[in-house]
Amino acid sequence: MSGGSYNYLHTHAGGLEDQRGDIEAMAKCLAGLPYAERVAEATRRVMALLDEAEAAAQELADVWKAVEWWDSGDWDENDVREVIEEYRISSAG
């Protein structure tokens, strides 16, 4: 079997990413309500969390790809070890 054992997780940033525009519109709508300041801010925080999650997922994408390809029989464990070592070095600085 070639790839796909984790549905190509390394290519996806987050589940709500497709709703980013809707979330922004919701935050704007809520911000216009004088009694909804707290929930408007919480909704804007969702956007910030999406940004953080996307950045974290991008940093892990090569590792996820290596594990997925190893688990699918396309790569061996040494390939995974090398990619994880590259991640360790790049994230240490």
Question: Does 34 or 53 have the greater pLDDT score?
Answer: 34
Enclosing H/E stretch for 48: helix 37-71
Distances (CA, A) of 62 to 1, 50, 67, 69: 19, 19, 9, 10
Q: What is the pTM of this model?
A: 0.72
Average of pLDDT values for 25-54? 93
Reported confidence tier of residue 20, pLDDT bands at 50, 70, 90:
confident
Question: Quick check: 87 and 63 in contact, CB under 8 A?
Answer: yes
